[in-house]
Amino acid sequence: MSKDAIEIALASGTSAKQKKLTPSAREELEEAVSEWFVETRAKKISISGGAVQQKALNFACLLGIEDFKASTGWLSRLKARHGIVGKMLSRVGIRKHKQCLGVNKSPNFSINWTAGCEGPEVVNASTGKTEEGQVSRLSKRSLFARFCQLWGRLPAIAQQQDPAQPPRLYAEAKKSAGLYQGAKARISEAFSAAGLGAWVSKPIEADEFELVF
């Protein structure tokens, strides 16, 4: 019964007619959740309580149940009514689970390549330098040097800055990118207005360095 209703809703591209969470509607919803749980567990896939609650909300939407809340209390009652028993993973089980997911430590090196360059560059993740001990072409210093070389040829900057006077500090170069700084400021304001916290900034001193040749 529940599968038929869900299949019809999916086929039509819309949810079923809105209805209250009556005893029959609740049974239909829980039957769908129970069947999904059994099928998923049969594939030896671990299922958390949060996953069950989210799946129930999805089914409620498809079945057109408008006032359903997948609360912790509802989850406990569902487990009791349908004999759903959670499985605790031992430390060994957790370790094997992580191995199956391919969870490993990050490598101690990175590789980058750019069109027009001779070949890839291997960078030590601990030191930030190449295998030969040189400064990486992706470092702030290298990018700052390339920016200064292009300084007098950038129309957007030439209109606001002196083409003959490139920035002395890396921080000054960043400030000269007016469009970028404006976009960054708006993003920070949006995060703050939405209650998502403040943009994490590096210490000012980190960008106050000159090019040394």
What's the confidence (pLDDT) of residue 5?
53
Dist CA 107 CA 54 (whole Å)? 35
Report pLDDT digits (tens) over 144-203. Answer: 888 888 887 877 666 667 777 788 888 888 888 788 889 989 988 888 888 877 777 777
In the block, residue with structure tokens 């083409």: 163
Question: Burial, 209: exposed, middle or buried (Cβ in 10 Å; 0-12, 13-18, 19+)?
Answer: middle
pLDDT of 123 reads: 92
Question: Rounded to 5, what percent of the chain is helix, strand, coil?
Answer: 55, 5, 40
pTM for this structure? Answer: 0.43
Range 2-99 has CATH code 2.70.70.10:
no
CATH 1.10.10.60 maps onto the chain at 2-99
